[in-house]
Structure 1
Amino acid sequence: MTSTYDSRTHDLEHSLVARGDLWRVEASTASSTSGNDNSSLFLVQLGPVLFVRDTTLLLPVHLSKQHLLWYGYDRKNGMHSLCPAMWSKHRRWLLMSMLCLNPLACSFVDLQFPNGQFTYVSGEGLTTSAFLPICGGLLQAQGQYPGEMRFSFSFKNKWGTRITPMVQWPDKSFTLSFSQAIAWQRSGIMMRPTIQFSLCPTLGGSSPGMRAELIHSLREDLNLICGCAATSHPSAFLSISFGRSKWNGNVGKTGIVVRADTPLSNVGRPSFSIQLNNAIEF
């Protein structure tokens, strides 16, 4: 379960995911004070039958070890569709799609493979999340087309400095990120960094300038993060995470992240955000 509240925009988001061997439940809702961005999703899966909200039904027509065909019916729009799925013998890749029969059109394609995922949704475009180990580093492509795309190559030199050149399109900006671990601490048989510093100069685009961040891991479940941005709108932030968070690899059952942002031109008017993280496994 995840809940997020933003004091500046008063946006509130909740999400819940629970799953077992033969069932799955997903629910999410987002609301804002403007009332124009309210959205919700509810999905229930019982064995091979899938219900999305109360309008869509997916029923299996053909099942085998490597192929699957669903029949879909959208009661709200009166739309019939076929949803084929195929996967490799060892499930290293998976292809799913949705073909509308009235009128004939492809509304959804999802391709998952060991090095990433491509998802196409009619009317929204192509979403990409792919990586490739090459030349001792990691080449990545993330984003949505049409929309914001980000291409980066990350590698670490002999001094332990992680260098990540990144190009963002169509923003037409170039970022060169430097991340260095300053202090280390033994955790069992492994050494983990306790103080990390990063510097990210950005050229071109809508927000050129310099960003700096310092992360201090007081304990495995307690992290202090502070940083500043010398861009067109200079700002600074301070964040504290306790328990489950991305800074400790989402280890633990519960966690909280508290963050304060303030523009440097008016330090007396900060904004605050609180994020609650929870994981329940069945």
Structure 2
Amino acid sequence: MSSIGDNLERRVAALLPVPLPPPPQKEQLSGVAAAVLNAGGRLGRAVGDVFRRLRIDDTFYSGTPRHRSNSGKNGRSSAAGKEGVATGGDPLAAAAASGRFARSQGSMKMSATYDSRTNDVESSVVARGDLWRAEASHSSGSSVRRGAGDGASLFLVQLGPVLFVRDTTLLFPLHLSKRHLIWYGFERKNGVHSVCPAYWSAQRRCFFMSMICLNPFACSFMDMQFPNGQLRYVAGDGFTARAFLPVCGGVLQGHGKFPGEKRLSFSFKNRSGGSVVPTVQWPDKSLSLGLLQPLSWRRSGLMLQPATQISICPTIGGRNAGLCTELIHSANENVGVVCGYSHTASPSAYASISVGRSKLNGGAARSGSVFRVEAPLHNFGRPWFSVQMNSGLEF
């Protein structure tokens, strides 16, 4: 009888739906936390992308050859490759290769500079992660403009989509979609309320952002970016425009500030790897011709990089008429030397050496320093110098 009863119980249990036990409370909490972190991460990345676009990279429009940017990219890639080979049988390296630690959670960059000519000390710290970002900079010395107030010290904190600037301005998102973002801004120092809309195209090739003050009603900031240029307006400072256009195997570049100086240049490279950049500036009424020519090459991994380069830039007319020449030598990925001479209204000679992390060496190392000394020819016995210390890490 007991076997018959057991069979009947199993059949009844198979026909009746049995409710599943609820998941443990820990798993429920982890799921909620993951959803919150995912939403905050998307908001934080959107905010970071917007403010990353607002930073204007002036190296492309400066009108002078920029050899250091290319060497920086190559230096970073080659150094990364060497570091990956050197890890070998490290268990952390094996875990990174498996994908567990393949992506760093955050990074920090620190820099400090001292200038003996002006007795300025400038320092900056930039730290960022997926959901947060913090930036701080401080400048003290005789070159700080009077009446700048807080202009010598800046502080910015981003926590997901919320942004604090100088502890007086708060930006909080009111609307977020794939192409739209609207902030509410409040400046505690002046009691100003603002609305800040932002828009970017589907391919993120076009971007628009503006800051509209509500009391009083005015547009205090506007930034528009296109595939071939950028237009920015800042209340009290005017318009700034940058544009470039590929023409005849080169790039025609324009940079203008209204009111202010305008610059038009055309850059192209020759077959030997050198570049030529003629530049016209007005109302300075000057014409310059920038020439950059590699003299020797060195191999870095699978790539060839210029080991020695010479740069010559004669200028006709304007405030800085004369001749500037510079010799750049990269001994390896961690050591670079620059020597230059400027024969202008105030002629001078200078030399600098970069060790470790720097713009000349590509910033591949964790730390480094740049020492520069310059002496005016009319008073060669009283040179001035500057020292810059750089450091960076990932965690």
The residue aligned with 1:137 is: 250
RCO higher in 1 or 2 (8 Å CA, sep ≥ 6)?
2
Contact kept in structure 1, 2:126 and 2:135, CA below 8 Å: yes
Deviation track 1:132-185 (CA, whole Å, cap 9, x = no partner) reads 333211222346433333322111122333111012233221110111101111
Deviation track 1:108-143 (CA, whole Å, cap 9, x = no partner) reads 112234445433211122334443333211222346
Contact kept in structure 1, 2:121 and 2:139, CA below 8 Å: yes
Higher alpha-carbon deviation: 245-254 or 162-171: 245-254
The residue aligned with 1:222 is: 335
The residue aligned with 2:278 is: 165
Q: 1:167 to 1:261 in 2, by over 3 A?
A: same
The residue aligned with 1:45 is: 158
The residue aligned with 1:118 is: 231
Q: Distance in 1 between matches of 2:357 and 2:227?
A: 26
Partner amino acid for 2:124?
A: S
The residue aligned with 1:93 is: 206
**Which of 79, 92, 96 is the matching residue for 2:192?**
79
Q: Distance in 2 between matches of 1:115 and 1:23?
A: 31
Q: 1:90 to 1:17 in 2, by over 3 A?
A: same
Q: Distance in 1 between matches of 2:143 and 2:248?
A: 49
Structure 1 SS opposite 2:126: strand
Point out the structure with the larger strand share: 1
Contact kept in structure 2, 1:18 and 1:280, CA below 8 Å: no
Identity %: 60
Q: 1:134 to 1:212 in 2, by over 3 A?
A: same
Q: TM-score, normalised by structure 1?
A: 0.93
Q: Distance in 2 between matches of 1:125 and 1:277?
A: 34
The residue aligned with 1:27 is: 136
Q: 1:236 to 1:252 in 2, by over 3 A?
A: same
The residue aligned with 1:108 is: 221
Deviation track 1:13-53 (CA, whole Å, cap 9, x = no partner) reads 11222111211111111111376366111111111111112
Between Structure 1 and Structure 2, whose CA radius of gyration is higher?
2
Contact kept in structure 2, 1:226 and 1:237, CA below 8 Å: yes
Q: 1:144 to 1:252 in 2, by over 3 A?
A: farther
Contact kept in structure 2, 1:18 and 1:281, CA below 8 Å: no
The residue aligned with 2:182 is: 69
Contact kept in structure 1, 2:223 and 2:231, CA below 8 Å: yes
Q: Distance in 2 between matches of 1:34 and 1:273?
A: 14
Q: Distance in 2 between matches of 1:130 and 1:243?
A: 34
Deviation track 1:183-231 (CA, whole Å, cap 9, x = no partner) reads 1112222211111011110000001001111111111221111011111
The residue aligned with 2:115 is: 6
The residue aligned with 2:127 is: 18
Contact kept in structure 1, 2:336 and 2:353, CA below 8 Å: yes
Q: Distance in 2 between matches of 1:122 and 1:263?
A: 39
Q: Does 1:202 align with 2:315?
A: yes
**Which of 355, 366, 376 is the matching residue for 1:242?**
355
Partner amino acid for 1:173?
A: S
Q: 1:16 to 1:62 in 2, by over 3 A?
A: same
Partner amino acid for 2:363?
A: N
How far off its partner does 1:238 sit?
0.7
The number of equivalent residue pairs is 282
Q: Distance in 2 between matches of 1:245 and 1:143?
A: 29
The residue aligned with 2:296 is: 183
Across the aligned residues of Structure 1 and Structure 2, the Cα RMSD in angstroms comes to 1.9
Q: 1:94 to 1:178 in 2, by over 3 A?
A: same
Deviation track 1:51-78 (CA, whole Å, cap 9, x = no partner) reads 1122211121111111111111112111
Q: Does 1:150 align with 2:263?
A: yes
Counterparts of 1:243-262 in structure 2, within 5 Å, are: 243-262=356-375
Partner amino acid for 2:209?
A: M
Partner amino acid for 2:275?
A: R
Task: Give the gaps of 5 or more residues in structure 2.
Answer: 1-109
Point out the structure with the larger helix share: 2
Q: 1:277 to 1:170 in 2, by over 3 A?
A: farther
Q: 1:134 to 1:251 in 2, by over 3 A?
A: farther
Q: TM-score, normalised by structure 2?
A: 0.67
